[in-house]
Amino acid sequence: MRINITSVFVDDQEKALAFYTETLGFVKKTDVPAGEYRWLTVVSPEALDGVELLLEPSEHPAAGPFKAALVEDGIPFTSFAVDDVHAEHEGLSTLGVTFT
């Protein structure tokens, strides 16, 4: 058994896709219309057949309060691994990403 797909709630799938691909360097894997939204996933360029991250629309009524509670309590919803956290921080900072 292995993890195939996990998701993050996003307010805007197109903006999220741009952030995850253009800023973080992920690669779009799946983009299929799903009614009003899309089944939209990204993967690491280092593992194109690896775990997919689903950019899940946060339209369910529970998504807003859930996200707000995590932010308020300082709990991350997901985590990513990098080889050199200092180099990654510097690279993202030059792209205008701010950290809180």
**Has residue 89 been placed in a domain?**
yes
**Has residue 23 been placed in a domain?**
yes
**Has residue 19 been placed in a domain?**
yes
Task: Let me know: does 10 contact 21? Beta carbons within 8 Å.
Answer: no
Which pLDDT score is estimated for 63?
95
**Has residue 34 been placed in a domain?**
yes
- Give the mean pLDDT of the chain: 95
CA torsion 44→4→2→10, rounded to 10°? 80
* pTM for this predicted structure: 0.88
Which pLDDT score is estimated for 98?
87
- Domain with 19, as residue range(s), is 5-94
Which pLDDT score is estimated for 99?
83
Minimal CA–CA distance to 47: which of 84, 17, 3? 3
Please identify every stretch of the chain with a pLDDT value under 70, giving residue numbers as ranges: none
CATH code at position 77: 3.10.180.10
Which pLDDT score is estimated for 13?
98
